[in-house]
Amino acid sequence: MKFGRKRSIDRTRLIQLHNDGMGATNIANKLEIGRSTVYKIINEEIGTKNK
């Protein structure tokens, strides 16, 4: 059973922009999301790869 909303942010694109050297503020503006969301996704995606 799944809970919550379907993800609407292209996480792969966000991580690609981050890996290309784009800053969180620019990523947030480009994807039209909050900067805190950018940091959250980066920490979730990059953090899970380091564990």
User: Residue 7 — φ and ψ, nearest 5°?
Assistant: -70, 130
Q: What is the pTM of this model?
A: 0.79
Per-residue confidence (pLDDT) for residue 47, from 0 to 100: 79
Per-residue confidence (pLDDT) for residue 40, from 0 to 100: 95
Per-residue confidence (pLDDT) for residue 48, from 0 to 100: 67
Query: pLDDT 10s per residue in the chain (51 long)?
Result: 778 877 789 999 999 999 999 999 999 999 999 999 999 999 998 876 654
DSSP 5: P
Per-residue confidence (pLDDT) for residue 45, from 0 to 100: 87
Per-residue confidence (pLDDT) for residue 49, from 0 to 100: 63
CA distance 27 to 50: 22
